[in-house]
Amino acid sequence: MYENNYSYNPEETHTSVPNYTQGNGGPTPEPPKKKGGRGAVKAVLAVCCMAAVSVGSIAGYKYIDEHGNPFSAKESPAVTANRQLPADDENEEKESANKELPKDNFVSESLISIQDRKETLTTQAIYRKVLPSVVGVTTVFEYQSQSFDFWSFGSDTVTEEVPGTGTGIILSEDGYILTNAHVVSSDSYGVGKKISVRLSDETEYDAVIVGYDRQTDLAVLKADAEGLVPAEFGSSDKLSVGDPALAIGNPLGFDLFGTLTAGYISGLDREISVNDTTMKLIQTDAAINNGNSGGPLINQFGQVIGINSMKLSSSYSSSSAMIEGLGFAIPIDDAKKIIDDLTSHGYVTGRPQLGITYKDLSQASTSYYSQNSASSGVQVVGVNENGPADKAGIKAGDIIVGADGELVSCGEDLKKAIKNHDAGDKIHLTIIRNRNYYDVDVMLEDVKRDSESK
């Protein structure tokens, strides 16, 4: 059984300033200013991990290390404040973009209508009301592995399929379905190659991805179906700690399809950091397990008020208690705009992007530090072809150490700087390439599709 583990770590505070040395014969830009305090200190949970609860199939996912040349990139001109970025003859092979859906798969109206509270229902009545609006989601991922041939002493590339299961919520009679982004998209395997949905009456339909957004962990699917039963949605803004909360999902796969668990709203606006992204979530003690991802969190009126997404798991200490009853759901009021954008455009509008993938420099090798005179920063791993960073001349292998005059010591610093801008704004970056420092102005662009970039 695969469990998509996310590290749950408190925000690191980096205080060291990069060693700004003179480049090879050129002027050195003014170092970015060191940032002040990072706000309230977050509690540390020892030996905990945040587990995305998407998959309940018996087939286990196999981990794949993806290695690429971080220093190859397409040549692109750039205008910098201090120096022209040097040309590079090496080319980077670009991954093809996801196929765009036909325009008739998008809708202009909102599929979520927040309803007023009604009469309180019994648990049995809530289950009967909501179950027809819950689906099982099966995603088939593909990965390639090397098979060694002992007779020829060579190896062959073998493509294998790995299935995973999650849960979804019906948005409309004609087949729009809400789930989590990590149900249909994986860090290790990319976007699922085949998706199907299963209704509570065991009817199955093929489905396509209308849009997904990893930052908010939301995805919208479209099945070629009619006469489905849409869920009724209530306001998550009206929740109080202590309100009843129920979850319906498919823990460990479809053998346990439609499992109901019950509890309470344990907390509101919980700031949970997953993969360098901070989300404000509903906390509940209603049991949420692998396979529940994308399923509904329901109030006492039979209304969906959240999308179950993750839980805290593993032991709290090395000697005793296991963590139980810490599940988290995305509030529906917060998710509504994202869902509307995904169903209307296939992406989240107005969100600025640099068009890169990156990792903290602390995750790179020590030898790479010494080669580039930096002990902290963000290393560019990939650059989207014809994206904002590519147009500005940024290449894979560059190290971003400053943004708008402030120090960038980790990915969270860069994300915060980008969030201060809108699409169409310019962001001023300081980068290191081959021990030289450059100032680069990048025109941020709207994220047209989720490209796993920042």
Residue 152 confidence (pLDDT): 65
Task: Clarify whether 182 is annotated catalytic.
Answer: yes
Can you tell me the distance from the alpha carbon of 288 to that of 329, in angstroms, rounded to the nearest whole number?
10
Mean pLDDT, residues 396-415 taken together: 90
Query: Which of residues 386 and 64 earns the better pLDDT score?
Result: 386
Alpha carbon 439 to chain centroid distance? 29
What does pLDDT average to over the chain? 75
Grouping H, G, I as helix, E, B as strand and the rest as coil, residue 417 is helix
**Domains of the chain, residue spans:** 67-97+350-446, 103-345
Confidence of residue 102 (pLDDT cuts 50, 70, 90): low
Where is mean pLDDT largest: 35-39, 77-81, 207-211?
Answer: 207-211
pLDDT of residue 73: 31
Q: Which of 33-47, 180-194, 355-369 has the highest mean pLDDT?
A: 180-194
Exposed/middle/buried for residue 299 (C-beta within 10 Å: 0-12, 13-18, 19+): buried
The pLDDT of residue 349: 85
Report the C-alpha gap between 308 and 180 in whole angstroms. Answer: 8
Amino acid at 65: D
Instruction: Record the pTM.
Output: 0.69
Q: How large a percentage of the chain has pLDDT more than 90?
A: 43
Across 16-25, 39-48, 105-114, 248-257, the highest mean pLDDT is recorded for 248-257
Q: Domain 67-97+350-446 carries which CATH code? A: 2.30.42.10
For residue 15, the model assigns a pLDDT of 28
67-97+350-446 matches 103-345 in fold: no
DSSP letters spanning 353-380: E--EEEEEGGGS-HHHHHHHT-SSSEEE
Q: Which of 149-153, 223-227, 235-239, 258-262 has the lowest mean pLDDT?
A: 149-153
Q: What is the dihedral of CA 50, 56, 61, 65, to 10 degrees?
A: -20
Look up 185 and say whether it is catalytic: no
What is the CATH code for 103-345? 2.40.10.120
Q: How confident is the model at residue 195 (pLDDT cuts 50, 70, 90)?
A: very high
- Tell me the pLDDT band of 326, cut-offs 50, 70 and 90: confident
- Name the DSSP class of 131: G
As a whole number, mean pLDDT of residues 38-62 equals 37
User: Among residues 14, 182, 333, 439, which one is catalytic?
Assistant: 182
Identify which has the larger pLDDT, 353 or 230. 230
**Containing H/E element for 124?**
helix 123-130
Taking alpha carbons only, the member of 364, 361, 360, 217 closest to residue 294 is 217
**Band (143; pLDDT cuts 50, 70, 90):** confident
Active-site residue, selected from the candidate residues 293, 376, 409, 451: 293
293 is catalytic: yes
Distance (Å, whole) CA 265 – CA 236: 11
Which member of 217, 333, 439, 450 is catalytic? 217
Q: Does 188 have pLDDT greater than 80?
A: no
Q: How does pLDDT run across 337-392, given as a tens digit for each residue?
A: 999 999 998 888 888 888 888 888 865 444 444 445 556 889 998 888 888 999 99
51-65, 97-111, 184-198: least confidently modelled range: 51-65
